[in-house]
C-alpha cells in the first residue's frame, strides 16, 4: 500500500494486503496484488447503513420538552444532543447486520447530524419559528453558537428571501473537538426534478489554528466529498450482486456539481487545536436537505437525497 493519505477508512482493515500475504505464502515467493474497481466494490466493506427514529416535543415559544433518539446499526459518533431538552433518551442499537461494514469519513456522525438537524428544522417549521432563532434558543454550547452565527452572517441569513424555486437551509453541531455550521442555497426545477446547489457557506472551529491553508483545504475538501453522500452516492443491489461497481455507474461528485463554497475559519488561540479531517463535512447534508424542503415543502429523510432528482423522491 503506498504511504500516502486519502484512505478515508479504506486502509483500516487492509483486505487486499491480507489477500496478498496469503497468496505469497501459498506461492512461496513475493506477489503483487491489485484489485480492480469491481473487485474492490464487491469484496471490501460497506459504509454502515442505519435507521434513525426520533420523537420529540416542543412548546410554542421554542423550548424542546422531550427528545427520544434511536440509531439502529450505523453508529454512535455525533449522536449526543447539543440542545437542551426536558425528558430525553439517546440510544445506539447495534444489530446483526448481514454485510461487512467499516469506517467512512465522519463515521456515523454524518447520519446522526442529518437526522437530528432535519428534525430540528421540522420542529421550527411546526411552530413557525426561524430555524436559526430556534437553534439559538436551545443550544447549550457557546462554541456551536459562534460557528452558527459566523456561517449565517457570511451567508446573509435573513437579509434576503429565496428567489422562486430556491431555498435556504442550515445545520450545525460538534464532534471530536470540532464545531461546524453550514448554510446552503439550492435551486429546484420542479418540472424536471433537477436540484442544483447554488452556494454553500461553512464555518468551522477546532481551537487554535496552526496551519490556516491546510485547515481551509480540509474544510473545503470535506464539503466537496460530502456532496456525494448527501446527494447521489449509493450502492445498488439485485439478486445478491452489486449493479454499479465502477465509477462510470457509481455517481461521485463531479466538477459541475461543486458550487461556490465559502469557508469561515474561527481561530481560538486560547484553546488547544483539535483535528479537522472529518467534522467539517457533517452539517452539509442536513443543510442541503433543509434548503430543499424550504424550496419545495418536500422533506427528504434518506441519504442520498436525490439520486434521480426530486420528482422521484
DSSP letter (8 states) at residue 107: T
Is-contact 124 61, C-beta < 8 A? no
Is-contact 232 288, C-beta < 8 A? no
Give me the mean pLDDT over the 106-117 stretch.
95
**Fold exhibited by the domain 51-312:** Aldehyde Oxidoreductase; domain 4 (3.30.365)
As given in the structure block, the three cell numbers for residue 234 are 449509493
Give me the mean pLDDT over the 123-150 stretch.
98
pLDDT band at 308 (very low <50, low <70, confident <90, very high): low
Q: How far apart are CA 230 and CA 244, in angstroms?
A: 18
- Tell me which residue of 290, 288, 291 sits closest to 232, measured CA to CA: 288
* CB contact burial 95-121 (16+ within 10 A = b; e otherwise): eeeeeeeebbbbbbbbbbbbbbbbbbb
pLDDT band at 313 (very low <50, low <70, confident <90, very high): very low
Enumerate residues 6+ apart whose C-beta is below 8 A from 289: 114, 118, 169, 230, 299, 300, 305
pTM across the whole model = 0.93
Q: What is the mean pLDDT of the chain?
A: 92
- pLDDT tens per residue across span 153-170: 999 999 999 999 999 999
> Element (H or E) spanning 230, and its range?
helix 212-231
Give me the mean pLDDT over the 60-87 stretch.
96
First to last CA, the chain: 40
- pLDDT tens per residue across span 50-67: 999 999 999 999 999 999
pLDDT at 95: 94
- Residue 221 confidence (pLDDT) above 90: yes
- pLDDT tens per residue across span 239-277: 989 999 998 999 999 999 999 999 999 999 999 999 999
Domain residue extents for the chain: 1-34, 51-312
Q: How far apart are CA 150 and CA 154, in angstroms?
A: 6
Amino acid at each position: 500500500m503506498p504511504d500516502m493519505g486519502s484512505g478515508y477508512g479504506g486502509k483500516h482493515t487492509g483486505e487486499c494486503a491480507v489477500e496478498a500475504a496469503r497468496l505469497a505464502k501459498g506461492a512461496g515467493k513475493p506477489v503483487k496484488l491489485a484489485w480492480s474497481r469491481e473487485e474492490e466494490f464487491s469484496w471490501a466493506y460497506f459504509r454502515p447503513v442505519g435507521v434513525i427514529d426520533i420523537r420529540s416535543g416542543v412548546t410554542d415559544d421554542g423550548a424542546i420538552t422531550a427528545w427520544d433518539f434511536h440509531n439502529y446499526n450505523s453508529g454512535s459518533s455525533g449522536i449526543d444532543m447539543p440542545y437542551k431538552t426536558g425528558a430525553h433518551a439517546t440510544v445506539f442499537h447495534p444489530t446483526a447486520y448481514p454485510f461487512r461494514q467499516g469506517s467512512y469519513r465522519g463515521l456515523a456522525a454524518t447520519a446522526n447530524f442529518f437526522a437530528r438537524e432535519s428534525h430540528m428544522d421540522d420542529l421550527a417549521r411546526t411552530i413557525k419559528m426561524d430555524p436559526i432563532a430556534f437553534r439559538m434558543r436551545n443550544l447549550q454550547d457557546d462554541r456551536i453558537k459562534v460557528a452558527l452565527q459566523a456561517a449565517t452572517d457570511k451567508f446573509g441569513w435573513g437579509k434576503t428571501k429565496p428567489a422562486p424555486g430556491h431555498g435556504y437551509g442550515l445545520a450545525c453541531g460538534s464532534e471530536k473537538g470540532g464545531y461546524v455550521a453550514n448554510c446552503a442555497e439550492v435551486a429546484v426545477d420542479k418540472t424536471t426534478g433537477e436540484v442544483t446547489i447554488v452556494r454553500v457557506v461553512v464555518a468551522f472551529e477546532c481551537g487554535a489554528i496552526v496551519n490556516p491553508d491546510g485547515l481551509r483545504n480540509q474544510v473545503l475538501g470535506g464539503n466537496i466529498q460530502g456532496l456525494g453522500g448527501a446527494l447521489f452516492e449509493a450502492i445498488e443491489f439485485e439478486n445478491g450482486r452489486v449493479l454499479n461497481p465502477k465509477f462510470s455507474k457509481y455517481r461521485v461528485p463531479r466538477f459541475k456539481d461543486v458550487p461556490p463554497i465559502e469557508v469561515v475559519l474561527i481561530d481560538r488561540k486560547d484553546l488547544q487545536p483539535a483535528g479537522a479531517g472529518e467534522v467539517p463535512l457533517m452539517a452539509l447534508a442536513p443543510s442541503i436537505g433543509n434548503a430543499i424542503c424550504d424550496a419545495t415543502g418536500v422533506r427528504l429523510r434518506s441519504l442520498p437525497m436525490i439520486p434521480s432528482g426530486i420528482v422521484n423522491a
